Amino acid sequence: MIERKSEREIEQMHEAGKLVARIHKEIAKIIKPGITTLEIDSFVENYLLKNGAKPAQKGYQGYEFATCASINDEICHGFPRNEPLKNGDVVTIDFVADLNGALADSAWTHPVGEISEEAKKLCEVTKEALYQSIKEALDGNRIGDIGAAIEEIVAPYNYGIVRDFAGHGIGPTIHEEPNIPHFGSRGKGKRLKEGMVITIEPMINLGFWPSKMDNNGWTARTVDGSLSVQYEHTIAITKNGPIILTEQDDV
């Protein structure tokens, strides 16, 4: 069953999303060589709590942190840890705010100090792929239209589009139907409908797409050791087009 949200529910999720967006902007300011991802994790948790929200990832399916912090070749679900970040690292911080039961989910790759030109390009193209695919989040379109838009942007660069993790519906719980793959064919897949709220969250690798799982049972990393970056927004599909609930330019 794909849940559809009322205008009021979408407004409440938008409030949660604005908080998430503000926090990502704050992370961009404090992230530098020497800070640890555990420090960023407490910063995010405290910011959420001070604003009347809860870290929805903490306790979710046994996950123990407010954030996922995935460094360099880690694709997603990296554990925050007590190890200083180094100049040139790229770190994806991913978290979900729960504001009075309304959730919003966004991941953002942050550069640490000065990063390589190829890392910058990878970030730029991945962000572009996310924003182009968001334009497909229209009532009446198909889920395949979203993945196709991502593939079209990424193809010229020969980057790997991670296939083992997908975007998802989001509502009272973090992961709901439908599944939103980051590859696909136009005109294929289920129809998108007004009132659906989904995440789009392409994870793109500098090298090949396959991932392997760490022994902790959570963290995925690239098989070839190449860099992986990710940008994720929560998006509401409305009769007036997509609304990016976690847009940083709006806050």
Q: How far is the CB of 32 from ligand MF3 (least distance, A)?
A: 24
Position 98 contacts Co ion (CB under 5 A): no
Position 136 contacts Co ion (CB under 5 A): no
Position 107 contacts Co ion (CB under 5 A): yes
Binding positions for ligand MF3, rule: CB under 6 A? 57, 60-61, 63, 68, 77, 94, 96, 105, 107, 174, 199, 201, 232
Q: Taking CB under 5 A as the rule, which mask of x and - marks residues 221-240 in contact with Co ion?
A: -----------x--------
- Return the one option of Co ion, ligand MF3, none that residue 68 interacts with (CB less than 5 to 8 A, by type): ligand MF3
Burial class (CB in 10 A: 0-12, 13-18, 19+), 221: buried
- Return the one option of Co ion, ligand MF3, none that residue 138 interacts with (CB less than 5 to 8 A, by type): none
- Return the one option of ligand MF3, Co ion, none that residue 57 interacts with (CB less than 5 to 8 A, by type): ligand MF3
Q: Are 75 and 211 in contact (CB under 8 A)?
A: yes
- Return the one option of Co ion, ligand MF3, none that residue 247 interacts with (CB less than 5 to 8 A, by type): none
Reference 95, options 240, 246, 251, 248; nearest CA is: 246
Among 45, 73, 89, 105, which residue interacts with Co ion (rule: CB under 5 A)? 105
Q: How far is the CB of 239 from Co ion (least distance, A)?
A: 26
Q: Which residues bind Co ion (CB under 5 A)?
A: 94, 105, 107, 232
